[in-house]
Structure 1
Amino acid sequence: MTVSPAAPRPGLAACASDPAHSRGRRHLEPEAPTRTAFQRDRDRVIHSTAFRRLVYKTQVFLNHEGDLFRTRLTHSLEVAQLGRSIARSLQLNEDLVEAIALAHDLGHTPFGHAGQDALNTCLKAAGHTAPDETDGNWGFEHNLQSLRVVDELEERYPAFDGLNLCFETREGILKHCSRANAQRLEQQEPGGVASRFLHGGSPSLEAQLCNLADEIAYNAHDIDDGVRSGLLTLDQMADVELFEHYHRAALKAHPQLQGRRVLFESIRLMLSDQVYDVIDTTRARIAAAEVASAEAVRSQSLLVGFSDEMRHRSRLLKAFLFRNLYRHPQVMETTDRARRVVCDLFECYMNAPEALPEAHGRKQHLARAVADYIAGMTDRFAIREHERLCGAVLFP
């Protein structure tokens, strides 16, 4: 039976990314008969090992601290949902947005940012003993690690390493990159996904959108998780202009509302208004810039964004969460233990590389091999490995 090739979704804006005009994959492959290139990327991410591991990786609260707190997996799903909703209104490519959103945290370590900071410290220290190492010791960035996962570390296909995703998906995954790492990537892939960090320019509108959807999602769900945990209270949240505005609106519309429904309705109203703000602001910027193609977007400053007022309120919310949740003594005590787990594991594997799985142990650069292995661990696997190798029980 002959199957007609998949067609791009009708109704895309002129400045949206069209899979028919993708910059392509690093390794040539025949097109899929029933899916566009971006749909295929999304499916490859969903079926990857790294994606499944996200269910047991920390967002803010460690996996063992409660079944209802967000994990990296549920966070990624929320980013994808918000991104698709906004993309549809702006006539951007929803499939590309979803692929980027689901892949953007694949490189995150166990224990969230605590694990990332610990691995960065370990790798930089290892770099002092091997300054000529071309691959291993430029520190750790979770965005770069996400790119490593889809380019190199996934082992699913006979002809190549990684998932062989399209340029546009890979570009969206690498939303931040240090200049040193960008220079190294540019040497490997001239004019590739790191080029904009060296020469200026912007990524696709879909990549810009995912970056903002990520921020909207974690601000909202960190309020929810913070209150659920008892580390934040609604009385504290009254000091945050953005949240309190919608909290008052929820109670005005539903005076009898009590319990968690008040919190949920306040967050729902806040999310909706932020989404509408992004749509209106971005639509106006696109019109003012008169961009007539996806390629023209790359020479512009960022077009997807909040209005000035919403951006200001969002920054105040982020600052509040940083002070009162991410730096809460209880969270910090947990993250201190998490850093110790990661640092101890790094030292153990550096001193006994034979303890690494064979696939990792064959790599040329030991420090990077160790970092790749630890970064791929889930919270609970890292805790078990630490107990096995170090004999210490840090998370009873």
Structure 2
Amino acid sequence: MTAPYACQPADSRGRLYDEDLSSFRSPWQRDRDRIIHSSAFRRLKHKTQVFVEQEGDAYRGDYFRTRLTHTIEVAQVARTVAGALGLNTDLAEAVALAHDLGHPPFGHTGEDALAALMQPFGGFDHNAQALRIVTRLERHYAGFDGLNLTWETLEGIAKHNGPVAPPYPYALEQVNAAWDLELSTHASAEAQVAAVADDIAYNHHDLHDGLRAGLFTEDDLAQLPIIGPAFAQVDHRHPGLDPDRRRHEALRRVFGVMVEDVIAVANDRLARLNPASVDDIRAAQGAVISFSPPLHQGLREIKTFLFKRMYRAPSVVVERRLVTAMLNELFPLFLARPEALPGHWQTDAAAAPMQERARIVLDYVAGMTDRYAMAEWERLCNSAAPTG
């Protein structure tokens, strides 16, 4: 039984293109399944978070998270939290599974590079790009482009991080023109859960991946809030535990602290707000799903540490320069020489005016995996490594 403020399948605002209802799946189960079976979802397997996927790279390892493993972890957290709060777990899962579809190769480094390259042509935003993928770029169904997801799932992709103020990214403006997503309001509680689940997942796994990469040690983490007490608790309860198990036990406690905090804060806010429907959630003055102020402050300290020791570690900065140089060569090349694009990309770009051509080139480059982007750079630009 879901809460009255949960999204109800029978009340869904439907799809842009009408379809018969499934006899055995809810609308959001159907959305979830379409996202999982999409080409963009499969490509997440070879898109990285922090460490570039490259043979011979010092930080490459099969245990580091990719966008795909990260997305699966986010979906798991979203289902857990949504279930604990009486929300619709299928919608929370669908939004979580779609939230990173718009990320380009090379993680946030790739996003920064493409945003700069697209600045004269309307910019680039990975959330807006995810909407473009699920409404336009996936081309598998006979009756429509995209996945024809429900309004609620599209709203969640667009607004899971909160209301969106104009000017809107180009891709978001296109989707919103076709179907008003009420961008000035908050999203459903299910979408808010997906956003916080993203924070929980990456805060946890970036610590784990950074330790595995040797960018910092457990001793470096001892003075940090949340993490230091977690290691101390493990040492008290399991003295002499071998290092790998000690690390795992401590970080799973950090994970648990974040999940429990979100559920407690949400229950308190929902009790005070007493929403009668999902529209009351959307109209609320602030998000109902978030961390408590003390935990939020502790996570800020952890993020500051990770920024210095991981995201801007010297070895990672070198990789950032290298992959930025690759994209800075590939994008202008395709823009000037659309004949270098494959298949329909070439046909579409060659006939388009420059503004539209840039968007087509962006769609192609942003859809690349790390390994494909590097292979295309090798094929088209140079056999020598870029110098940055």
Taking structure 2 as the reference length, the TM-score comes to 0.92
User: For residue 52 of structure 2, what is the aligned residue in structure 1?
Assistant: 62
Match of 1:76 among 65, 71, 87: 71
Per the alignment, in what secondary structure is the counterpart of residue 241 of structure 1?
A: coil
| Alignment of 1:19 onto 2:3 | no
- Which one of 261, 278, 290 corresponds to residue 262 of structure 2? 278
The structure-2 alpha-carbon separation of the partners of 1:191 and 1:148, relative to structure 1 and needing over 3 Å to count, comes to closer
* 2:308 paired residue among 317, 323, 328: 323
CA contact (8 A) 1:341 1:383 kept: yes
Alignment of 1:373-384 (within 5 A): 373-384=364-375
Q: Pick the aligned partner of 2:207 from 219, 223, 242.
A: 223
Paired position in structure 2 for 1:132: none
Cα distance in structure 2, aligned partners of 1:29 and 1:111: 37
Q: Is the 8 A contact 2:138 2:146 kept in 1?
A: yes
Is 1:169 matched with 2:169? no
Match of 1:49 among 39, 42, 57: 39
Deviations 1:370-394 (A, max 9, x none): 1000000000000000000012343
Tell me, yes or no, if structure 1 residue 341 matches structure 2 residue 332: no
Report the CA distance between 1:181 and its aligned residue: 1.9
Instruction: String of CA shifts for 1:122-181, please: whole Å, max 9, x gaps.
Output: 111xx2xxxxxxxxx211101110111101100110111100101111111123556222
Alpha carbons 2:265, 2:292 under 8 Å: kept: yes
Cα distance between partner residues in 1 of 2:124 and 2:312? 22
CA distance in 2, matches of 1:72, 1:184: 21
TM-superposed CA distance for 1:290, in Å, is 1.1
Superposition deviation, residue 215 in structure 1 = 0.5
CA distance in 1, matches of 2:109, 2:151: 30
Tell me if the contact between 1:182 and 1:195 (Cα under 8 Å) persists in the aligned partners: no
* 2:107 pairs with one of 102, 112, 135: 112
- Determine the C-alpha separation between the residues in 2 that align with 1:184 and 1:89: 34
Aligned residue for 1:94?
89
Instruction: Tell me how far apart the structure 2 counterparts of residues 31 and 20 of structure 1 sit (CA, whole Å).
Output: 10
Matched residue, 1:30: 20
* Aligned-partner Cα distance in 1 for 2:170–2:122: 11
Q: State the shift of 1:183 in Å.
A: 8.3
Which residue of structure 1 lines up, in the alignment, with residue 357 of structure 2? 366
CA distance in 2, matches of 1:193, 1:336: 39
Select between 137-146 and 234-243 the one with higher mean Cα deviation: 234-243
Query: For 2:383, which of 386, 392, 395 is the aligned residue?
Result: 392
Q: CA 1:188 to 1:260, structure 2 compared with 1: closer, same or farther past 3 Å?
A: closer
In structure 1, the partner of 2:182 is: 195
Match of 1:248 among 232, 238, 243: 232
RMSD: 1.8
CA distance in 2, matches of 1:220, 1:211: 15
Cα separation, partners in 2 of 1:315 and 1:394, compared to 1, 3 Å: same
Q: Distance in 2 between matches of 1:188 and 1:255?
A: 56
1:7 aligned residue: none
- Gaps (5+ residues) in structure 2? 55-59
* Residue matched to 1:308: 293
| Deviates further, 25-34 or 204-213 | 25-34
Cα distance in structure 2, aligned partners of 1:322 and 1:306: 20
- Checking the alignment, whether the CA contact within 8 Å between 2:151 and 2:181 is kept in structure 1 is no
Whole-angstrom distance in 2 between the partners of 1:359 and 1:208 = 37
Gaps of 5+ in 1: 1-10, 128-136
> In the alignment, residue 287 of structure 2 is paired with which amino acid?
L
Q: Give the whole-Å Cα distance in 1 for the aligned partners of 2:125 and 2:169.
A: 11
Could you tell me how far 1:182 is from its partner in structure 2?
A: 5.6
Give the aligned length: 372
SS at match of 1:189: helix
- Secondary structure of the residue aligned to 2:190 is helix
CA 1:95–1:369 in structure 2 vs 1: closer, same or farther (change >3 Å)?
A: same
**Structure 1 residue 358: Cα displacement:** 2.8
Aligned partners of 2:128 and 2:172 also within 8 Å? no
TM superposition shift of 1:194: 4.9
Instruction: Return the alpha-carbon distance in structure 2 between the equivalents of residues 30 and 201 of structure 1.
Output: 29
Q: Indicate if the aligned counterparts of 1:118 and 1:343 stay in contact, CA closer than 8 A.
A: yes
Aligned to 1:8: none
Distance 1:235 1:345, change over 3 A: same
Shift of 1:341: 1.1
So what's the TM-score if we normalise by structure 1? 0.90
Q: Which residue of 2 aligns with 1:179?
A: 166
Is the contact made by 2:9 and 2:26 (CA closer than 8 Å) also made in structure 1? yes
CA distance in 2, matches of 1:367, 1:32: 39
Q: Which amino acid aligns with 1:55?
A: K
For residue 195 of structure 1, give the secondary structure of its aligned residue in structure 2.
coil
Q: Distance in 2 between matches of 1:393 and 1:217?
A: 37
Question: What SS does the aligned partner of 1:181 have?
Answer: coil
- State the Cα distance separating 1:185 from its structure 2 match: 4.3
